Amino acid sequence: EAGVAQSPRYKIIEKRQSVAFWCNPISGHATLYWYQQILGQGPKLLIQFQNNGVVDDSQLPKDRFSAERLKGVDSTLKIQPAKLEDSAMYLCASSPPGSTEAFFGQGTRLTVV
């Protein structure tokens, strides 16, 4: 079974630029998450989708971050404009129906300079 796919693996941008990350969850997984993990900390949930509906986006900085999950499969996370403190690993995860176990993709390492 293929795992959660994410791209790109690495991204370096200047502050105030925009960036987008892509995620394809495990087939059949209705729940999709985006996490931000700053170096030395645990992952923090940014947004959680159930199919193409948002379940929890309470910790998403909505003035600069946006996410969508069209057709309930792939998802994109966008940052515009980026700040230095956005430098982190952005992790996408998905869960199968009837489970709260989350399986992570390889992540995107973002560096804002």
Partner 1 sequence: QKEVEQNSGPLSVPEGAIASLNCTYSDRVSQSFFWYRQYSGKSPELIMSIYSNGDKEDGRFTAQLNKASQYVSLLIRDSQPSDSATYLCAVNRKRGSTLGRLYFGRGTQLTVWP
Which residues contact partner 1 by CB under 8 A? 31, 33, 40-45, 48, 50, 55-56, 89, 91, 97-107, 109
**Shortest distance, position 32 Cβ to partner 1, whole Å:** 11
For residues 20 and 78, what is the distance between their CA atoms, to the nearest angstrom?
Answer: 4
Which is nearer to partner 1, 24 or 31 (by Cβ)? Answer: 31
**Shortest distance, position 79 Cβ to partner 1, whole Å:** 19
Question: 3-state DSSP call for residue 55?
Answer: strand
Question: 3-state DSSP call for residue 108?
Answer: strand
Task: Dig out the tokens for 90 from the structure.
Answer: 């952005």
Task: Dig out the tokens for 35 from the structure.
Answer: 């996490």
**Shortest distance, position 74 Cβ to partner 1, whole Å:** 18
Which is nearer to partner 1, 24 or 48 (by Cβ)? Answer: 48
Which is nearer to partner 1, 38 or 80 (by Cβ)? Answer: 38
**Shortest distance, position 40 Cβ to partner 1, whole Å:** 7
DSSP 8-24: -SEEEE-TT--EEEEEE
Which is nearer to partner 1, 31 or 86 (by Cβ)? Answer: 31
Q: CB neighbours (10 Å) of residue 58? A: 9
